Structure 1
Amino acid sequence: MRTCLPGSGRRTPRLRPRGLRARLVVAFVLVTVLGAAAAAWSSAGSASTALVTSTQQRITEGLAGRLGAITPQLTYPPDQDALDRLRTAAGANAVVTYRDLRSADGTGTDLVPDGLRAAVRSRNRLVAQRIEAGGRPWLVVGTPIMITAPDGARTPSGIEVYSVQDLADVEQQVDGLARSAVVTAAVALPLAVLLALLAAGSVLRPVRELRDTARRLAGGDLDARSPPRGADELADLTGTVNEMAESVQTSMVAMDRMQAEARRFAADVSHELRTPLSTLTAVVEVLATTADGMEADARESAQLAIVETHRLVRLVEDLMEVARLDAGTAQLRAEEVDVTGAVRDSLGARGWLDRVDLVAPGGIRLRLDRRRLDVVVANLVGNALRHGEPPVRLAVSGSREEVRIEVTDHGPGLPENVLPHVFDRFYKADAARTRTPGSGLGLAIALENARLHGGDLTAGNADGGGARFVLSLPRNREDL
């Protein structure tokens, strides 16, 4: 048996209409049905009140008329025969009293409340009161018999007449009016649902069209537009969205054109620089072999020229690589590679094996472009050696899904404001460090090479301090 602690059970989901269409339909139906019910109920209430009032008026006027026709024939003080005549004129369920004399007929004569008797005696006029007895409604009417003198003065004779009338038929009519109100509200429900669906459809159709247009724009279809219909607020919104899409399309076209021109310019410049740089490199190499025999100033200038020439060659090569990546012409020459051996060869070719702690088990094989892996490793390790502090650690690990290459150092790490821009082209965390051996494109090229393999390259800080770069390469890619 499972015991549930208070508050630990699953929350009962609230039944709440989702979507604008459902909310519009529910709101429209509720307003319509409630309005119809309120109107029907109000009409039924008014009709019920009018029915009860008219019935009460008819009964009281009838009683007063019948008594008024017989009272002139009576003698005062009255005897039992006079009381019987008054009771007969009053009708069924009536009682007539005069001091100790009493004439009654019917089963409801004992329903006359004492308050009504007191009101008749104190007011000296006809009084009516509705009561409930035995589960049925009754109307009790009481009136005194007045003596009119020749001069018109009216004095009470002491005779009191009370009539009790059953209002069950009237109550049935009132109940019928209430049922009619309920039926009216029920009949209004399907009509309200139909009208709500039609109204919601007409209102939401432009909204759906705007949604589809927005999705097409988000998907890259800058030609997507929604035709405005009518002259309401939705038509204004549609026009505004179309204007926005036109502006975005114009801006994107202009931006694409500028980016294409910039890429073409960089590629053309890099290509044109290759020939003169090849010649300049050959001259520099000759200069390097004779630098030792030069004067100190000349030797320093020669060495500076050699360094800057090599830096320029590296920059041009990186620019050409970036141009190929941007143009989508960079190709992978994939082969089955021993990842540990490839990493070790990359470090050994640059003389870094004694400067890097390599943690790489054997037997990790992956299909990839060996040259591009060398570019990524060289950029990550070179960046750690230049900007971090020893020891620099490179760890290779593999799982069924991917192979990971992690490079960490023990330097100050990457500041929070630098992390979002680590892979930006030509970005320098320290603006004062304008002359560095690199081109400022190494990490950007490394990221693009990782993506060419379907992987990723992330930057962050290690738990113990220092920068941490992780290259993730997926296994079992069929397109490599």
Structure 2
Amino acid sequence: MTGATVDRSVGDSGRTAPGPVGTSTAVEELVDEVGATAPAATSPSSDRRASGPAQGVLGGVRTVYRSVSRHWRRSLQFRTVVATMLLTSVSFVAVGGFLSNQITNALYDQRFDQFSAEASDALDDEKAVFRNSSATDTDTINRLVLDSVTQLVGTDSDAPRQSILVPLPTDNGSVVSTTTSQAGATARMLPPDLQAAVADGEEIYWAPMVIPVTGSGATNAPGLAFGTQVTLPPEQNPVALYVYYDLSTMQSTLDDIHRVLWLAGVVLLIVISAIAWYVTRSVVRPVSYAASVSEKLAAGELQERMEVSGEDEVARLGASFNHMAGSLQDQITQLAQLSQMQQRFVSDVSHELRTPLTTVRMAAEVLHDAREEFNPINKRSAEILFDQVERFQALLADLLEISRFDAGAAVLEAESVDIVQLAQHAMDGARPLAERLGSDLVIVSGESMCIVDADARRIDRILRNLIVNALEHGEGRPVEVHIACNPEAVAVAVRDHGIGMTPLQASRAFDRFWRADPARARTTGGSGLGLSIAMEDARLHSAWLEAWGEPAAGACFRLTLPRHQGTDLACSPLALPPSSAPVPASQHAAQGAGTRADAPAPRPRNDDEGRGSGH
């Protein structure tokens, strides 16, 4: 028997099987082609009506995408479960496709062999009947045709068989017309390629076909057709005789198998995902717990420990973590005790030295007042003694202040003050030193008044320390004091043009007793704690105190205060270093402390611009 190779992927659309009878398509694909209808046109107004819901859908998709991306970045358990689901889905599609293909092939191999043998035997028998018939009149021939068509009808419930006899185009003067065993069946339902093959040859041919099904909601059924030529008596006119099988029951069986496979795959995917979630949760949970305990330890809760149970890897991790936490707690406790002992020692020594130092100062003052009566050597000794006692007393006062900060006893007494007046007052106090060193004090202010909630005594001390430090390292060049404010913050920057600092030196400028150049003598007799105390005063205000410097280009210290206590700083009104033309302090003083100086307004800056090491 000759025919197109049967397409055994019924139900698996999109595949075709070539053969000598044209090109055969899958049975299910033929059903789709016959039952397909063109989509209805969409009007512009309906597009406009759909734009709103479409935007809502897009917004929902973006929200889901952001949520999935966030969980993907932050959750190891989520990534593991999603990866397991994806890999399981791919595996299921591959295995399910393989099983579906194997089941379909096995079923069609079996049924095709059965149908082919049945059709060949039946058609051969009918060919012999027509060949051996002695009918000569039309009625007898028509009765013979009807009996043959009826005889070919099969009663198999799984694949019922019908038949049809069609006159060939070459049959001149045929006494019969198209005869079918099924009501509504016509020759047009037969594949054209099959009809052409039967008309050209005398062998038995086959091809897949589509059987029309009438009725509401009915869909066309797949089928398999076999055909051959037979000759009618008495003139042996050739006609085409076909038998076809209805494969809808077989297709339904395959659909049920596919549904079961998909359902089993979904259930398997859910089960595997649940298992992956449980397994990863049992692994990730101790890690998350360790991270939580670590955060508490970092926050100062040194007594926190992990719960340890069992003897597995997680238990060993917990035991090692607890051992590490205990060691850290012991070391931190020892360091805290040493720091407290050091602070207590400094505080006690400072307090104990106040009384003898007061006595020594009184004696030094007596000698200093009577120095004119001494010879030159004793006179100079009295002056040196007085100066060093004053320096010692200043150092002792700074040590006492530092001990208050270390003990947490420093208290902020905030009130509304004008930062411009405080800066002018600090400059007036430092002017004698500026005259002695040959430096000019100049002020740059874009504001006539900047009110801020601050402790006036501490802010004055910060500004004095910054100005004196700038004069000491300014090498006789002008020292500028820049002032600016915005609705959230007030800033004061002290800029000198002296020896400058490297970035490394600027990062250590606020360390206690640190000096950029140990060989450089102090011209003002400072204690080495001025900038450290200034930093502590700034922290007490929740302020920023930052340092900047370049070798041979000078240095700049910037103080940024929140205008209201309890608010956080976001940016500073002044750049670091500020860039503006200086205005002489004498001009500012002549205009009055409340008068705005002729200086350009400072430009705002971002939070990260010029950040120094003062934090």
TM-score, with length taken from structure 1: 0.72
**1:15 maps to which residue?**
65
Is contact 1:33-1:188 (8 Å) kept?
no
Deviates more, 1:37-46 or 1:220-229: 37-46
Is contact 2:503-2:548 (8 Å) kept?
no
SS of equivalent residue, structure 1 residue 459: strand
Instruction: Please give the per-residue CA displacement for 1:49-70, whole angstroms capped at 9, x wherever unaligned.
Output: 21111112333455678899x8
1:422 equivalent among 509, 517, 520: 509
Is contact 1:36-1:184 (8 Å) kept?
no
Is contact 1:409-1:467 (8 Å) kept?
yes
Instruction: Please give the per-residue CA displacement for 1:152-179, whole angstroms capped at 9, x wherever unaligned.
Output: xxxxxxxxx9976454433332233223
CA-CA distance at 1:380 after TM superposition: 0.8
Instruction: Please give the per-residue CA displacement for 1:352-399, whole angstroms capped at 9, x wherever unaligned.
Output: 576422457766555544432332222111101101242112344555
2:472 equivalent among 386, 411, 418: 386
1:206 equivalent among 286, 300, 306: 286
**1:47 maps to which residue?**
103
CA-CA distance at 1:262 after TM superposition: 1.6
Q: Using a 3 Å threshold, how does the CA distance of structure 1 residues 14 and 433 change in structure 2: closer, same or farther?
A: farther
CA-CA distance at 1:344 after TM superposition: 4.0
SS of equivalent residue, structure 1 residue 223: coil
Aligned residues: 447
Mapped to 2, the partners of 1:79 and 1:333 lie a distance apart of 129
**2:530 maps to which residue?**
442
Mapped to 2, the partners of 1:180 and 1:338 lie a distance apart of 83
Matching residue's letter, 1:324: R
CA-CA distance at 1:448 after TM superposition: 0.9
**2:496 maps to which residue?**
409
**1:158 maps to which residue?**
none
SS of equivalent residue, structure 1 residue 417: helix
Matching residue's letter, 1:390: R
Question: Aligned ranges for residues 362-401 of structure 1 at < 5 Å?
Answer: 366=452, 368-388=454-474, 389-401=476-488
CA-CA distance at 1:325 after TM superposition: 0.8
**1:264 maps to which residue?**
344
Mapped to 2, the partners of 1:366 and 1:141 lie a distance apart of 101
Is contact 2:296-2:302 (8 Å) kept?
yes
Q: Using a 3 Å threshold, how does the CA distance of structure 1 residues 52 and 346 change in structure 2: closer, same or farther?
A: same
Is contact 1:117-1:142 (8 Å) kept?
no
Matching residue's letter, 1:15: Y
Is contact 1:344-1:353 (8 Å) kept?
no
Q: Using a 3 Å threshold, how does the CA distance of structure 1 residues 305 and 191 change in structure 2: closer, same or farther?
A: same
CA-CA distance at 1:292 after TM superposition: 5.5
Is contact 2:224-2:244 (8 Å) kept?
yes
Deviates more, 1:290-299 or 1:269-278: 290-299
Question: Aligned ranges for residues 5-404 of structure 1 at < 5 Å?
Answer: 15=65, 17=68, 18-19=70-71, 20=75, 21-60=77-116, 62=118, 93=163, 112=194, 139=224, 165-188=245-268, 191=271, 195=275, 198-199=278-279, 201-228=281-308, 234-289=314-369, 291=371, 303-334=383-414, 337=417, 339-350=419-430, 351-352=432-433, 355-358=440-443, 366=452, 368-388=454-474, 389-404=476-491
Matched, 1:432 2:519: yes
Q: Using a 3 Å threshold, how does the CA distance of structure 1 residues 165 and 279 change in structure 2: closer, same or farther?
A: same
CA-CA distance at 1:327 after TM superposition: 0.3
CA-CA distance at 1:336 after TM superposition: 5.5
Is contact 2:150-2:163 (8 Å) kept?
no
SS of equivalent residue, structure 1 residue 406: strand
**1:146 maps to which residue?**
none
Mapped to 1, the partners of 2:316 and 2:521 lie a distance apart of 53
Report the RMSD for the aligned CA atoms in angstroms.
4.9
SS of equivalent residue, structure 1 residue 438: coil
Q: Using a 3 Å threshold, how does the CA distance of structure 1 residues 41 and 335 change in structure 2: closer, same or farther?
A: closer
Mapped to 2, the partners of 1:458 and 1:167 lie a distance apart of 87
Is contact 1:37-1:182 (8 Å) kept?
no
Matching residue's letter, 1:50: A
Is contact 2:497-2:553 (8 Å) kept?
yes
CA-CA distance at 1:248 after TM superposition: 2.6
CA-CA distance at 1:285 after TM superposition: 3.0
CA-CA distance at 1:451 after TM superposition: 2.3
Q: Using a 3 Å threshold, how does the CA distance of structure 1 residues 105 and 24 change in structure 2: closer, same or farther?
A: same
Q: Using a 3 Å threshold, how does the CA distance of structure 1 residues 367 and 66 change in structure 2: closer, same or farther?
A: closer
**2:591 maps to which residue?**
none
Mapped to 2, the partners of 1:283 and 1:417 lie a distance apart of 44
Is contact 2:190-2:209 (8 Å) kept?
no
| Structure 1: segments with no counterpart, 5+ residues | 1-9, 144-160
SS of equivalent residue, structure 1 residue 266: helix
| Structure 2: segments with no counterpart, 5+ residues | 1-58, 135-144, 154-161, 166-170, 172-177, 181-185, 213-219, 229-240, 568-615
Mapped to 2, the partners of 1:398 and 1:352 lie a distance apart of 28
Instruction: Please give the per-residue CA displacement for 1:416-464, whole angstroms capped at 9, x wherever unaligned.
Output: 11121111111211233365622221101011112223433222259x9
CA-CA distance at 1:297 after TM superposition: 5.8
Instruction: Please give the per-residue CA displacement for 1:83-115, whole angstroms capped at 9, x wherever unaligned.
Output: x999999876599xxxx9xxx997889865888
SS of equivalent residue, structure 1 residue 418: helix
Mapped to 2, the partners of 1:14 and 1:419 lie a distance apart of 48
Deviates more, 1:314-323 or 1:426-435: 426-435
Is contact 1:37-1:184 (8 Å) kept?
no
Is contact 2:211-2:222 (8 Å) kept?
yes
**2:539 maps to which residue?**
451
Mapped to 2, the partners of 1:435 and 1:287 lie a distance apart of 25
Q: Using a 3 Å threshold, how does the CA distance of structure 1 residues 53 and 431 change in structure 2: closer, same or farther?
A: farther
Q: Using a 3 Å threshold, how does the CA distance of structure 1 residues 277 and 53 change in structure 2: closer, same or farther?
A: same
Deviates more, 1:133-142 or 1:276-285: 133-142
Mapped to 2, the partners of 1:176 and 1:478 lie a distance apart of 71
Is contact 2:506-2:549 (8 Å) kept?
no
